[in-house]
Amino acid sequence: MRTTKSLAAIFVAAALALIGASPAIAEETLPVPWTLAAALPAQAVNPGGPPPGANDFGCRPSAAHPNPVVLIHGLSANQTVNWQTFGPLLKNNGYCVFSLTYGVPGKPLPIYQPGGLLPMEQSAKELSAFVDKVLGATGAAKVDILGHSEGTLMPSHYVKFLGGASKVDKYVSLTPLWDGTTLFGASHLYALAGALGLATGINGVLDPVCGSCRQFLRGSEFLTKLRSGNGVFQPGVTYTNIMTRYDEAVVPYTSGMGKGPNVKNIVLQDGCVLDLAEHAGVVADRNAAGHVLNALDPAHAKPVPCVPATPIGS
């Protein structure tokens, strides 16, 4: 009898040990770098590859986070360099994470694959196909989008004109530019060139190199079409715009502001004057990350503490 009880006690203790150990075995915590510098070695090791935590097409969304998150990079970036922070961060927080490099003209370069260079209408078609692939693989009904720079603007064409509104739930934007940019006065110079009949010549030189570049300019045909009709922000989609006052590419930074009952605007320095993140640095910023996590899971939103940040990361 004593031997039986001893064996039973050993069995129970072993079972409890296994139960206690199983989360550590099942859950892998990925390192999360809080600096843009992480992009360089990542690109060198796996040029153009997905960031850590992304593109596991065997991932099944949980009840807590039913929407896969699709990461969409900025102009001349790619999935590797843009998402070394948010890929593992979101994976560690229980999301199925996916990323792509879009808008690459011709064959990708062997060392670096700059994306976002094709006209945004073409890139939006690439995004549409990728979202369908993600939904098919995961069985999810909708995705959430996290975009940076061009990755905030290009998907809006997909959402508004290519049926994406029925497939996107939350649309989170880092350094958006819904009203374009006037960087270095480029929008005014282009408008002047148009008035002088020079725009066609400029387009002929610029478009083969960067078909999306002039689409960013305030007043461009792309933006005019996007803002027409019922505007940028589509019913049924929840938008969160996260901006920095130190944005040197989106000029003015308030171009990222939106209006509507389904739109929330956040300026990082309103909550943290010690955050000096610039346009690119926002993708490695702890304060921005807190706002992103809250936007993706508003039912469990947490206060975002003020973490001092340099221009290139926290």
User: Which of 133, 164, 125, 147 is CA-nearest to residue 59?
Assistant: 133
**pLDDT band at residue 207 using 50, 70 and 90 as cut-offs:** low
How far is residue 251's CA from residue 218's CA, in Å, rounded to a whole number?
10
Structure tokens at 122: 């073409």
φ/ψ of residue 145, rounded to 5: -115, 135
- Here the tokens at position 285 are 């910023």
SS (H, E, C) 39-51: HHHHHHHCCCCCC
Mean pLDDT, residues 117-122 taken together: 97
- Which pLDDT belongs to residue 188? 34
Question: In angstroms, rounded to a whole number, what is the distance separating the alpha carbons of residues 17 and 177?
Answer: 53
Please give the single-letter amino acid code of residue 117: L
- Rounded to an integer, what distance in angstroms lies between the CA atom of residue 97 and that of residue 90? 7
Strand (E) or helix (H) holding 148? strand 143-148
Return the number of other C-beta atoms located less than 10 Å from residue 230's C-beta: 10
The rounded distance, in Å, linking the Cα atoms of 224 and 196 is 21
At 47-94, the pLDDT tens digits run 999 999 999 999 999 999 999 999 999 999 999 999 999 999 999 999
Q: What is the pTM of this model?
A: 0.86
pLDDT in tens, 245-277: 999 999 999 999 999 999 999 999 999 999 999
Assess whether pLDDT exceeds 60 at residue 2: no
In sequence order, what DSSP letters do the residues of 265-306 get, joined into one string? Answer: EEEHHHH-TTB--BTTGGGG-HHHHHHHHHHH-GGG------
Angstrom distance (rounded) from CA 296 to CA 145: 9
Of the candidates 175, 150, 143, the one whose C-alpha atom is nearest the C-alpha of residue 285 is: 175
**Quick one: average pLDDT of 273-284?**
97
The DSSP bridge pattern shows strands 168-174 and 143-148 to be parallel
